[in-house]
A and B are shown apart, each in its own frame.
Chain A
Amino acid sequence: DSGVTQTPKHLITATGQRVTLRCSPRSGDLSVYWYQQSLDQGLQFLIQYYNGEERAKGNILERFSAQQFPDLHSELNLSSLELGDSALYFCASSVGPRDQPQHFGDGTRLSIL
């Protein structure tokens, strides 16, 4: 058990819709990272938050946004969904802003119909 909790485990929705993925980091970790895993692109870094503030951005689309709340949980919002957004979305956490993501959650599988 990594200590990182992601909900929901599975999400099925239609094109054009909006969804929110939730992540609770491991106790004591202040950094949260979001990754997208797809067959064609592999694991791609999306965005990092540290103690409530955005720290780094990767290949995140403008239709996607995230935030980290005072209790350190994070949400990834995906809007105007397209078929190509179907993927596994992972959250990871670490203690500091410059630490590598040490602990990954089990992911949310998003299927767009």
Chain B
Amino acid sequence: GQQLNQSPQSMFIQEGEDVSMNCTSSSIFNTWLWYKQEPGEGPVLLIALYKAGELTSNGRLTAQFGITRKDSFLNISASIPSDVGIYFCAGWVIAGGTSYGKLTFGQGTILTVHP
């Protein structure tokens, strides 16, 4: 099945630093998504990318859909304590010959921000 390799597994940074994480796959995806999960809550969609090469920002977050459709990165600029959480990449593909899609999640990046 499809697998996503997300790195790094964890990051410990100082408040104010920039953060970068990425996902790669051997499979092509139609859409890349980035979610954030905080303790006791479900994942929250941060950014969705629909076209190869697309670069999208959401506040201090910037994400890109790789040209090959097999990778994506997420950058967080000027991190703050509330950025703490687990960040997941996810790849969405429409199953061939069907009218539905499947979402495959990466293993997550645990972000810790020290004030």
Residues of A within 8 A of B (CB): 2, 4, 33, 42-45, 48, 50, 55-56, 58, 90, 92, 97-107
Bound form: Cα–Cα A23–B92 in Å: 22
The chain A residue with its CB closest to the CB of B50 is A100
Is B107 an interface residue when CB atoms closer than 8 A count as contact? yes
Bound form: Cα–Cα A92–B102 in Å: 13
Contact at A48–B100, with CB atoms within 8 Å?
yes
Contact at B101–A43, with CB atoms within 8 Å?
no
Give which listed residue, A2, A90, A98, A107, contacts B100 with CB less than 8 A: A98
Bound form: Cα–Cα A45–B2 in Å: 12
Bound form: Cα–Cα A104–B42 in Å: 5
**Interface residue SS majority, chain B:** strand
Contacts of B94 in A (CB 8 A): 98
Give which listed residue, A33, A58, A97, A106, contacts B99 with CB less than 8 A: A97
Bound form: Cα–Cα A90–B95 in Å: 22
Contacts of A97 in B (CB 8 A): 99-100
Contact at B108–A100, with CB atoms within 8 Å?
no
